[in-house]
């Protein structure tokens, strides 16, 4: 069991955490990144990335994350492979190592500031074929993967804002988008529903749940979805080239329950326009506090903001302490 101390403790190693690390390291804060269960975050389970600025050619998500990690380490970040199992923020306001986290092997991590970049996970249906055909026709992100279905037929599963927005977005690429919902009404905002119903490229299939994704991962990928009618129980199939599961995301905030404020969906609440939580010295960035944009580039942006604010927080605290010393 070891105790690791740092001026900036970062939990999470997706684009938000690693961008915070790059900025924190360059500011001399010698950050520690605790990588978590999925080092590199959600991008490590995507394949082609075409919308991260700076790359003309299609790049691979895992490669991008390796590069970000290498850059973070190159400028002085310590990357530690551990999963945090508990966090104690009760030292807020204390000088020195105010925030404490414990890893699953018992190692202790103490930080003068804490950057939470634990991300979110797309929820999946958990039906046969979904995992096997992931990246081979089944996706949970239209903005990431929609472009690969130019001119093809796609379906979107879900009835909330995400599903409707994804269906609308996909019409930029696909002439034939079907929204499949398990009930007979949508829960998304009315304005989005109006746009959806007015779009001639979109049709809605009501009262259907997806039982299975059809196709061979090794030969052509997804070919269709098998459905059951939730009212009559009748079985049917729809042929499709792409299926986008849009049934919500789950932010990884379990560790912070009772210590930091969250919205109804479990996302951490921050001061609007900043990554500041209600506890001075604790910052949240990336998908753990953003249920709207959820892009690698926006996560990287808020990670940068968190590091800049952490640096300012420490500088102001040091300035105040020095002033007190002089006055005393």
Chain residues that interact with ligand NDP, rule: CB under 6 A = 125, 158-163, 165, 182-183, 187, 209, 247-249, 265, 291-292
Q: Of 145, 241, 290, 309, which residue is the catalytic one?
A: 145
Q: Which of 48, 107, 141, 229 is catalytic?
A: 141
Nearest residue (CB) to ligand NDP, 247 versus 284: 247
Distance separating alpha carbons of residues 264 and 21, to the nearest angstrom: 29
| Least spacing, CB of residue 294 vs ligand NDP, in Å | 8
**How far is it, in rounded angstroms, from Cα 154 to Cα 246?**
13
Q: Which residue among the candidates 144, 285, 304, 309 is catalytic per the annotation? A: 144
Q: Smallest distance from the beta carbon of 266 to ligand NDP, in angstroms?
A: 10
Cβ closer to ligand NDP: 10 or 163? 163
Q: Which residue is nearest to ligand NDP (CB)?
A: 160
Is residue 141 among the annotated active site residues?
yes
Rounded Cα–Cα distance for residues 237 and 80 (Å): 47
Is the CA virtual torsion 288, 289, 290, 295 positive or negative? negative
| CA distances (Å), origin 322, targets 147, 310, 315 | 55, 18, 10
Min separation Cβ 268 and ligand NDP, Å: 14
CB of 20 to ligand NDP, least distance (A): 24
Residue 30 or 211: the one with the smaller Cβ distance to ligand NDP is: 211
**Are the C-beta atoms of 178 and 205 separated by less than 8 Å?**
yes
| Annotation says 285 is catalytic | no
Write down the least CB distance from residue 263 to ligand NDP, Å: 8
> Residue 321: which H helix or E strand, with range?
helix 296-327
Contact 209, 139 (CB under 8 A): no
What would the two tokens of residue 65 be? 């994350």
Question: Could you tell me the smallest distance in angstroms from the CB atom of residue 286 to ligand NDP?
Answer: 15
Residue with tokens 């007979």: 184
Strands (E), the chain: 3-11, 32-34, 48-49, 59-60, 78-80, 84-88, 99-103, 108-116, 120-122, 138-139, 153-157, 176-180, 202-205, 208-216, 221-229, 235-239, 242-245, 249-251, 282-284
**In this structure, what token pair is assigned to residue 183?**
């009930």
- 70 or 269: CB nearest ligand NDP: 269
> Which one, 16 or 101, has the nearer CB to ligand NDP?
16
144 catalytically annotated: yes
Torsional sign, CA 127, 128, 134, 137: negative
CA separation for the pair 47, 60 (Å, rounded)? 5
| Residue number with CB closer to ligand NDP (231 or 292) | 292
Residues annotated as catalytic (active site), given as ranges: 141, 144-145
């Amino acid at each position: 069991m070891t105790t690791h101390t740092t001026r900036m403790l970062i939990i999470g190693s997706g684009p938000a955490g690693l961008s915070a690390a790059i900025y924190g390291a360059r500011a001399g804060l010698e950050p520690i990144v605790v990588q978590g269960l999925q080092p590199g975050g959600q991008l490590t389970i995507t394949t082609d990335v075409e919308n991260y600025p700076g790359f003309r050619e299609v790049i691979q998500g895992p490669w991008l994350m390796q590069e970000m990690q290498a850059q973070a380490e190159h400028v002085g970040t310590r990357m530690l492979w551990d999963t945090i199992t508990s966090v104690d923020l009760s030292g807020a306001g204390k000088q020195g190592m105010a925030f404490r986290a414990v890893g699953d092997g018992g190692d202790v991590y103490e930080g003068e500031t804490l950057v939470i970049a634990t991300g979110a996970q797309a929820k999946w249906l958990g039906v046969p074929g979904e995992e096997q055909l992931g990246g081979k026709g089944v996706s949970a992100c239209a903005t990431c993967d929609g472009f690969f279905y130019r001119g093809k037929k796609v379906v979107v599963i879900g009835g909330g804002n995400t599903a409707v927005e994804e269906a609308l977005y996909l019409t930029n690429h696909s002439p034939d988008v079907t929204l499949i919902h398990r009930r007979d009404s949508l829960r998304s905002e009315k304005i989005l529903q109006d746009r959806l119903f007015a779009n001639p490229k979109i049709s809605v299939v009501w009262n259907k749940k997806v039982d299975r994704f059809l196709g061979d991962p090794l030969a052509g990928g997804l070919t269709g979805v098998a459905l059951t009618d939730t009212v009559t129980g009748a079985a049917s199939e729809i042929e499709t080239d792409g299926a986008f599961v849009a049934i919500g995301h789950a932010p990884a905030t379990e560790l912070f329950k009772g210590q930091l404020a969250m919205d109804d969906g479990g996302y951490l609440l921050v001061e609007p326009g900043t990554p500041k939580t209600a506890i001075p010295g604790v910052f949240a960035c990336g998908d753990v506090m953003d249920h709207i944009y959820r892009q690698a580039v926006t996560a990287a942006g808020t990670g940068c903001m968190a590091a800049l604010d952490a640096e300012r927080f420490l500088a102001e605290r040091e300035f105040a302490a020095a002033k007190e010393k002089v006055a005393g």
